[in-house]
A and B are shown apart, each in its own frame.
Chain A
Amino acid sequence: MDEWKPNPTVKPHKKRSWYLAWKFKLMNQRALRKLCQTGAVLFLLVTVIVNIKLILDTRRAAYEEEEESAQDYDDEMLNVEVPRHPVNNKKVLDVEVYSSRSKVYVAVDGTTVLEDEAREQGRGIHVIVLNQATGHVMAKRVFDTYSPHEDEAMVLFLNMVARGRILIFTIKDEGSFHLKETAKNVLKSLGSQVAPFLSWRDMWTFVGKKGGEVYGEKHAKSPALSTWGDPVLLKTEVHLTSVEDAECHWPDTELNRRRKRFCSKVEGYGSVCSCKDPTPIEFNPDPLKDNKVFDVPVAVIAGNRPNYLYRMLRSLLSAQGVNPQMITVFIDGYYEEPMDVVELFGLSGIQHTPISIKNARVSQHYKASLTATFNLFPDAKFAVVLEEDLDISVDFFSFLSQSIHLLEEDESLYCISAWNDQGYEHTAEDPSLLYRVETMPGLGWVLRKSLYKDELEPKWPTPEKLWDWDMWMRMPEQRKGRECIIPDISRSYHFGIVGLNMNGYFHEAYFKKHKFNTVPNVQLKNVESLRKDNYETEIHRLLGEAEVLDHSKNPCEDSFVPDTEGRVYVMFIRMEQEADFTTWTQLAKCLHIWDLDVRGNHKGLWRLFRKKNHFLVVGVPASPYSSKKPPSVTPIYMEPPAKEEGAVAVPAVAAAEQT
């Protein structure tokens, strides 16, 4: 009976043969015992089969479930294969640079990275900065060195570019007229042989590494004053370095990782990318005690002026009481560089597909940004609206924190603005003083959500209307007689020189000398007196104590106001009805303040400072404060210069658009 050896892994058919053999044995054994044994074996068989089946079943079920589970949670997105750039292991870049009267272009490895053949545009020296390890374009600039001062800007820019970067220069039309010695020397130090001798209408291309080798230079001299040099095309090769060599070795922190990402992509931001001593990108200003605007979202409206945005965000993030989590930057267009700036500071940015053109585009961008802000922060009752070309005062949030309750409680208020249109160096004095004005200055302001959601958003100008959003907001249909609160000394500074309605001359005349508060933690005085009725009491008190100036003198003369300090003076000008600003405009002109349209008035009253004295101007008889005029005084009337009127009217429109 050796074949009876137990074998636990036997197959069923074998068992069957056991069973037969066993059945045969049954004859010689007692039936009961046999039965027991048979039962045991059968039981064993059944157990084995059931077990196997169960294992198979459950395994299949589990498998199916796994399969299904994932399906349920699949993204519905179509299977779009993202085209992946082949990893560029190439060590050499082919660079082509073209310079001519009407066209310039630069191609790197066959990809055009610059092409400008527009007429009447892009004159001067075009500069492109490439990353020496990747070959990516890090900066593109054009300096119109035909015009004055542009060469200084170019020198400034070239000095900011890190050592080792690849620089490409090309001239379009004319680039030498105002290219001074300093600039020529800088170009020479980069290795250019021709730069020191560049002259009128020469064509020139140059490729070199900052602080290193020269890859190529071509030049075509202009044969005569009236003609241009022949077009030149420079073809050369640039050897790439390794990524490690192109990067700085900052300690590995979260901040430095952001810095690294930024600095490997763009150029022209100076010390933020300095290897040795980089300027901080986190500022940690002192928190504000009892900050009432900590939870107020801040919308920064931006276009494609990344250097402005960089400066603006630095000042914003340095202001006391700032809450970076509430800041959103809205970029009008799919521009990369502004987004890089936003990411450098660890803020969130949103890009906006441009809709419409010119001012309507700005207006649509404002609308989308404001709507998005209130969507993202549904709890917010207010939003702070800033633009990319503003410096923000260190006490900006402190100023808002002290005044925001007025906007919440006083229905007669339209906004709080950080900007005083009439607050110039010579007309603003008191950082703790606030005014109520009938005009909306913008340039850093607070918007009430209910005003936006209930009134402005539903009837915001549609894309086909070429209106300025701010002019629209100033219209009586929208403003409905409400006023804005402004400080005497502005809490924002408008530094933008290039813009839709902005140029250097205009900026110099109207914005450069604006006063900007730099004192931290200013305690505002009499905030309660800014409420609608309290303000009238306050004005009456002021007019009551004010000394009437000598109306026989010329108000434009400095001697009109006595050489005192800290006094209150009042003068009366002629103002036949509410909209008669003839005399005011002339006065504003000679005082060198904003005269392009009427700003800063409250019921025919203007408040400013002259020689450190508070100086009030009342329009008689339109202003309700006319009653304060002593009967003996004749209001001053100033006639507009007859001829100039037409000339003034035109810029008035253009200028008013901007602010």
Chain B
Amino acid sequence: MQKINRNVVLALLSLASLIFLLFQLCYYKFYLSQKNGAAFSKVRGSQSGQDSTRWHVVRKFLGLISSHNIPVYLIDPLILGLVDKDIEQIRSSPDGPSSECKYFCAPRDFTTFALLDKTWKHEVGLFRSAEKMGFQWLKIINKDPRLDGMDDLSGVEIPLHYIFKLASHAIHLVVFYERSGNFLWHGPLRLKQRMDRKFVPFRKLHFGRYPGAYEKPELLLVSIDDLKVQIPKNPSSFLDEMSHSRFLECRYREARAFFQMYPDDASLDAVEFRKKGKSLLHLAALTLNNLGVKFWLSSGTCLGWYRQCNVIPHSKDVDLGIFIRDYKADIIPAFQNAGLPLKHKFGKVEDSLELSFQGEDDVKLDIFFFYEEDDHIWNGGTQAKSGKKFKYLFPKFTLCWTEFVELKVHVPCETLQYVEANYGPEWKVPVKMWDWKSSPFNVQDNGVWPIDEWDNVIQIY
């Protein structure tokens, strides 16, 4: 009797323990899969219920927007990543039936779509039908950045993000706007007061932490998992673009404050220089973009953007930075073909390279090449008559997009550190007399070029 009891008890206990263990496993897996999103479920059976939920929500959403004639396209990085693996097959059979739910059932919290603002205006009807279909929705609006530069206009606020929630899945609809400079922009997602912070786990959204800048994508209509949907024609390059799409708005308010203190130069010379500087920058951007060379606004041009959102009229040149790893030998001939002859070339690819091209009427285009070290980045300078070398040190930085004189260009994301390194804490005060050898805050002597190298490292045309 006693023996049976004990055995029964032990068996029961072990069973309980096993259930606990199983529960633990499930819980752990569930938690993990939520967190990483990308992880595929290994136990397909237990997940299939949720998988088809996602697919159904996406299908409902696509039905909703197509009934309102709203052209959206898929930008969900997770799904595009999966699609990209099979892109050839998907392209070749646009109507091919798919047996399994391969893409839209992948575990995730959101499916992200994009909407071009100008292709759509009348929204009221959409939300009513969305509600009828059971969607809960959230709209995030904010100031229109295209009017931000103009202090005296009170633009209407524009919708930046929409979230449609149904059951356990949510659709994130990102609204893209066209900006001067021929690119698309989406805004940051910022919750206002009284908004439901737990509507969805906002943190897991792929878009909205920062504003972003994108090229206008070419679209492709495909059928995946039995759903017809538009995707970027080249998903992998879209995903690549997405990974460094962060956009910085110019600091218009600070720029206005600056002009209050130092009124803008409205003389004819200033107007003329700005015009020339702008067209030179446009030409340089076109040339470098054609070559696929990444560049950013540097020195005075960067300061002009950061401090006053414009070209500084008394700077006499346009300054760009390029990482030396992006250097291409074609740069010089490309500029020459664009009508910008080489004015001088200092240094060499291994050390302190600097190119200078002659734009129209004395406006110069300076290109500095930047060398990356473990804890800093530097570029070099050379004095032609003495062969002296200089070194300008910068803290490490990454690149962000911005809009400047109707152009989409890069600037260092950590602009303040960059500008302060170059111009010191007094960068807000305009300086008309500037000596590149002594004025910069971060200049260091860097020895002298050996005489026998002079022919190579000091070329003046």
Chain A interface residues toward B at CB < 8 A: 1, 4, 6, 8, 37, 40-41, 43-44, 47-48, 50-51, 54-55, 58, 62, 65-66, 68-70, 72-77, 79, 254, 325, 334, 346, 348-353, 355, 368, 371-372, 374-379, 453-454, 458-459, 462
Known: A6-B12, A8-B16, A41-B13. A376 touches B147 (CB 8 A): yes
Q: For the complex, what is the distance from the CA of A76 to the CA of B5, rounded to whole Å? A: 67
> Taking the complex as formed, is B10 at the interface, i.e. its CB lies under 8 A from any CB of chain A?
yes
Q: For the complex, what is the distance from the CA of A341 to the CA of B310, rounded to whole Å? A: 36
Known: A50-B24, A351-B153, A453-B406. A72 touches B202 (CB 8 A): yes
Contacts of B124 in A (CB 8 A): 254
Contacts of B201 in A (CB 8 A): 65-66, 69
Q: For the complex, what is the distance from the CA of A66 to the CA of B12, rounded to whole Å? A: 38
Q: For the complex, what is the distance from the CA of A69 to the CA of B12, rounded to whole Å? A: 43
Known: A70-B198, A325-B118, A454-B275. A348 touches B17 (CB 8 A): no
Which of B5, B152, B181, B266 sits near A368, CB closer than 8 Å? B152
Known: A6-B13, A371-B150. A378 touches B181 (CB 8 A): yes
Chain B, interface residues (CB within 8 Å), range: 35 or more
Which of A55, A65, A76, A379 sits near B203, CB closer than 8 Å? A65
Instruction: Tell me, rounded to whole Å, the shortest Cβ–Cβ distance linking B5 to chain A.
Output: 6
Find the A residue at minimum CB distance from B198: A66
Contacts of A44 in B (CB 8 A): 13-14, 16-17
Asked if A378 and B179 sit within 8 Å, CB to CB, the answer is: yes
Instruction: Tell me, rounded to whole Å, the shortest Cβ–Cβ distance linking A624 to chain B.
Output: 32
Asked if A51 and B125 sit within 8 Å, CB to CB, the answer is: no
Asked if B271 and A459 sit within 8 Å, CB to CB, the answer is: yes
Contacts of A51 in B (CB 8 A): 20-21, 23-24
Interface string of B177-194 (1 = CB under 8 A from A): 011111000000111110
Asked if A254 and B125 sit within 8 Å, CB to CB, the answer is: yes
Contacts of B12 in A (CB 8 A): 6, 8
Find the B residue at minimum CB distance from A353: B152
Q: For the complex, what is the distance from the CA of A479 to the CA of B313, rounded to whole Å? A: 25
Interface string of B353-375 (1 = CB under 8 A from A): 00000000000000000000000
Find the B residue at minimum CB distance from A257: B124
> Taking the complex as formed, is B333 at the interface, i.e. its CB lies under 8 A from any CB of chain A?
no
List the 7 closest A-B pairs by CB distance, nearest first: A69-B203, A70-B197, A353-B152, A75-B190, A378-B180, A44-B17, A375-B146
A-B residue pairs in contact (CB < 8 Å), sample of 26? A4-B6, A6-B9, A37-B10, A40-B17, A44-B17, A47-B24, A48-B17, A50-B24, A51-B20, A70-B197, A72-B202, A72-B209, A73-B189, A75-B191, A77-B192, A334-B154, A352-B153, A355-B152, A368-B152, A375-B149, A375-B150, A377-B178, A378-B178, A378-B182, A378-B406, A459-B268
Contacts of A75 in B (CB 8 A): 142, 190-193
Asked if A374 and B193 sit within 8 Å, CB to CB, the answer is: no
Contacts of A50 in B (CB 8 A): 24
> Taking the complex as formed, is B2 at the interface, i.e. its CB lies under 8 A from any CB of chain A?
yes
Contacts of A65 in B (CB 8 A): 201, 203
19 extra A-B contacts, CB within 8 A, seeds A44-B13, A372-B150: A4-B5, A6-B13, A8-B12, A51-B24, A69-B197, A72-B202, A75-B192, A77-B192, A79-B193, A350-B153, A350-B155, A351-B153, A352-B154, A372-B153, A375-B146, A378-B406, A453-B406, A454-B275, A458-B271
Find the B residue at minimum CB distance from A46: B17
Q: For the complex, what is the distance from the CA of A51 to the CA of B27, rounded to whole Å? A: 10
**How many pairs of A and B residues are in contact by the CB < 8 Å rule?**
140
> Taking the complex as formed, is B451 at the interface, i.e. its CB lies under 8 A from any CB of chain A?
no
Asked if B152 and A352 sit within 8 Å, CB to CB, the answer is: yes
> Taking the complex as formed, is B156 at the interface, i.e. its CB lies under 8 A from any CB of chain A?
yes
Those of B391-426 within 8 Å (CB) of chain A:
406
> Taking the complex as formed, is B40 at the interface, i.e. its CB lies under 8 A from any CB of chain A?
no
Asked if A69 and B16 sit within 8 Å, CB to CB, the answer is: no
Asked if B208 and A73 sit within 8 Å, CB to CB, the answer is: yes
Instruction: Tell me, rounded to whole Å, the shortest Cβ–Cβ distance linking B193 to chain A.
Output: 7
Contacts of B191 in A (CB 8 A): 70, 73-75
Find the A residue at minimum CB distance from B8: A6
Q: For the complex, what is the distance from the CA of A376 to the CA of B142, rounded to whole Å? A: 15
Instruction: Tell me, rounded to whole Å, the shortest Cβ–Cβ distance linking B146 to chain A.
Output: 4
Instruction: Tell me, rounded to whole Å, the shortest Cβ–Cβ distance linking B121 to chain A.
Output: 5
Chain B interface residues toward A at CB < 8 A: 2, 5-6, 8-10, 12-14, 16-17, 20-21, 23-24, 27-28, 31, 118, 121-122, 124-125, 142, 144, 146-147, 149-156, 178-182, 189-193, 197-198, 201-204, 208-209, 266, 268, 271, 274-275, 406
Asked if A40 and B154 sit within 8 Å, CB to CB, the answer is: no
Q: For the complex, what is the distance from the CA of A120 to the CA of B21, rounded to whole Å? A: 92
Contacts of A62 in B (CB 8 A): 31
Most chain B CB within a 10 A radius of its CB, from A346, A348, A376, A454: A376
Asked if A376 and B275 sit within 8 Å, CB to CB, the answer is: no
Q: For the complex, what is the distance from the CA of A349 to the CA of B157, rounded to whole Å? A: 11
Most chain A CB within a 10 A radius of its CB, from B122, B146, B204: B146
Q: For the complex, what is the distance from the CA of A349 to the CA of B155, rounded to whole Å? A: 8
Q: For the complex, what is the distance from the CA of A486 to the CA of B225, rounded to whole Å? A: 57
Q: For the complex, what is the distance from the CA of A368 to the CA of B153, rounded to whole Å? A: 8
Q: For the complex, what is the distance from the CA of A43 to the CA of B191, rounded to whole Å? A: 48
Which of B13, B146, B197, B202 sits near A40, CB closer than 8 Å? B13
Asked if A462 and B266 sit within 8 Å, CB to CB, the answer is: yes
Contacts of B208 in A (CB 8 A): 73
Find the A residue at minimum CB distance from B188: A73
Find the B residue at minimum CB distance from A326: B118
Asked if B5 and A1 sit within 8 Å, CB to CB, the answer is: yes
Find the B residue at minimum CB distance from A79: B193
Q: For the complex, what is the distance from the CA of A352 to the CA of B156, rounded to whole Å? A: 11
Known: A70-B202, A254-B124, A371-B150. A47 touches B275 (CB 8 A): no
Q: For the complex, what is the distance from the CA of A378 to the CA of B28, rounded to whole Å? A: 50
Asked if B6 and A348 sit within 8 Å, CB to CB, the answer is: no
Contacts of B6 in A (CB 8 A): 4, 37
Contacts of A453 in B (CB 8 A): 406
Q: For the complex, what is the distance from the CA of A6 to the CA of B7, rounded to whole Å? A: 11
Q: For the complex, what is the distance from the CA of A353 to the CA of B154, rounded to whole Å? A: 8
Q: For the complex, what is the distance from the CA of A586 to the CA of B209, rounded to whole Å? A: 70
Asked if A73 and B190 sit within 8 Å, CB to CB, the answer is: yes
Which of A48, A73, A458 sits near B202, CB closer than 8 Å? A73
Contacts of B203 in A (CB 8 A): 65, 68-69, 72-73
Q: For the complex, what is the distance from the CA of A486 to the CA of B63, rounded to whole Å? A: 49
Instruction: Tell me, rounded to whole Å, the shortest Cβ–Cβ distance linking A333 to chain B.
Output: 11
Instruction: Tell me, rounded to whole Å, the shortest Cβ–Cβ distance linking B268 to chain A.
Output: 7
Asked if A376 and B146 sit within 8 Å, CB to CB, the answer is: yes
Q: For the complex, what is the distance from the CA of A346 to the CA of B125, rounded to whole Å? A: 14
Asked if B181 and A48 sit within 8 Å, CB to CB, the answer is: no
Find the A residue at minimum CB distance from B18: A47
Instruction: Tell me, rounded to whole Å, the shortest Cβ–Cβ distance linking B434 to chain A.
Output: 24
Q: For the complex, what is the distance from the CA of A6 to the CA of B201, rounded to whole Å? A: 43
Q: For the complex, what is the distance from the CA of A462 to the CA of B264, rounded to whole Å? A: 11
Contacts of B204 in A (CB 8 A): 69
Asked if B27 and A55 sit within 8 Å, CB to CB, the answer is: yes
Instruction: Tell me, rounded to whole Å, the shortest Cβ–Cβ distance linking A585 to chain B.
Output: 34
Contacts of B5 in A (CB 8 A): 1, 4
Q: For the complex, what is the distance from the CA of A74 to the CA of B122, rounded to whole Å? A: 28
Contacts of A8 in B (CB 8 A): 12-13, 16
Q: For the complex, what is the distance from the CA of A371 to the CA of B208, rounded to whole Å? A: 28
Q: For the complex, what is the distance from the CA of A48 to the CA of B124, rounded to whole Å? A: 54
Asked if B189 and A375 sit within 8 Å, CB to CB, the answer is: no
Q: For the complex, what is the distance from the CA of A459 to the CA of B204, rounded to whole Å? A: 48
Most chain A CB within a 10 A radius of its CB, from B28, B152, B189: B152
Contacts of A40 in B (CB 8 A): 10, 13-14, 17
Asked if A69 and B146 sit within 8 Å, CB to CB, the answer is: no
Instruction: Tell me, rounded to whole Å, the shortest Cβ–Cβ distance linking A177 to chain B.
Output: 43
Asked if B21 and A47 sit within 8 Å, CB to CB, the answer is: yes
Q: For the complex, what is the distance from the CA of A58 to the CA of B146, rounded to whole Å? A: 44
Contacts of A349 in B (CB 8 A): 156
Q: For the complex, what is the distance from the CA of A50 to the CA of B151, rounded to whole Å? A: 60
Contacts of A48 in B (CB 8 A): 17, 20
Find the A residue at minimum CB distance from B155: A350
Instruction: Tell me, rounded to whole Å, the shortest Cβ–Cβ distance linking A656 to chain B.
Output: 26
